[in-house]
Amino acid sequence: MLILGDSREELRRLEPSSIDAVVCDPPYGLSNTTPAKVSECLAAWARGEEWSAKGGGFMGKDWDSWVPPPQLWKEVFRVLKPGGHLLAFASARTQDLMSISLRLAGFEVRDCIQWLYGSGFPKSHNLKDDWAGYGTALKPAFEPAILCRKPIEGTVAENVLKYGVGAINIDGCRIETDEDLTRVNHVAGIWSAEKKTHIIGSKEGRWPANVILDDSFNQPWARYFYSPKASKEEREAGLIGDGERANVHPTVKPIELMRYLCKLITPPQGTVLDPFMGSGSTGIAAGLEGFNFIGIEREAEYFEIARARIEHWVNTPLTYEAPKAKEVKTGGQLTLF
């Protein structure tokens, strides 16, 4: 289901504890994060008050003026099932604010996945004269994705049996390898010198890590999942534009990366929510993996781009036909408004 509207309002329409997983790329808040502004924001958040920054963030966009506040994440928390996981991308510069906002909404921060890539360029101011060779910024080479969980009820096993969520899909996301990773481990007993033998490792592949790489990295990095940045062909597929760029969204995530992340934290036939849908990469990923999807996007321009991209990709390799009704059934049981 794709929804055009503000997440703060639209999330209230969803049933509590109805979502299995959240995979999203929210605004990074790359505006003027001076210590005074951060202090003012955190003081308001601690009091449970609303706070908003003035001005634009990334590329001057007003939707990127600050990271989403705890009040919005609380609505996400409400609709997520107990034990459900959330993955939210963030900026290296503002991931602390994103993490605090999520914590204040009630989420447990479980880990942080690092997506490393070789492309990218520094936005540095180079100095001259006596300070030639000095600058003001490093080359960006990673984006963090904060892994959170709504607190479980009882034990993890009890929570999984009751709600179907609470654990992550280890075997489904193992990294393929030709190596036999199984080995015998001898462990001494606690109360005696007797050794116990355990078989550890798996023939199914390496354990998924909290690092994801793009294809500019070589051995010994083959033990990690690879995902390059989205190519122009991937970003534009399914779109028809008059200009050079049909997909004008500035922060398009690669489909394979989002497929991997959806699969990591979503149970079979589960529902993935993205309250910041953008140009629809999470919706494409969820549909291709056979998950249900609910995406919310405030900007009408981006909404239409997401709608067209999801229709194109989720129906691939079937012949694409424009929808004749409000509902379009796809491999991911997707409903398009």
Q: What is the pLDDT of residues 104-152, one digit of tens each?
A: 999 999 999 999 987 777 778 888 888 888 898 888 889 999 999 999 9
The two beta strands, 271-274 and 292-297, are parallel
Residue range(s) defining the domain that contains residue 166 = 2-28+67-170+208-315
pLDDT digits (tens, 9 = 90+) for 231-282: 888 888 778 765 566 777 777 889 999 999 999 999 999 999 999 998 899 9
Q: Which two tokens stand for residue 27?
A: 């605004």
**Is the domain of 137 the same as that of 196?**
no
Asked whether residue 213 is assigned to any structural domain, the reply reads yes
- Residues 246 and 319: their CA atoms lie apart, in Å, by 21
- Residues 311 and 330: their CA atoms lie apart, in Å, by 8
**Is the domain of 133 the same as that of 220?**
yes
Sign of the Cα torsion 85, 87, 92, 96 reads negative
pTM: 0.84
Asked whether residue 331 is assigned to any structural domain, the reply reads no
Asked whether residue 94 is assigned to any structural domain, the reply reads yes
CATH value at residue 139: 3.40.50.150
- Residues 169 and 20: their CA atoms lie apart, in Å, by 13
**Is the domain of 192 the same as that of 166?**
no
DSSP H helical segments within the chain, as ranges?
7-10, 35-46, 70-79, 95-104, 156-163, 232-236, 255-265, 281-288, 300-315
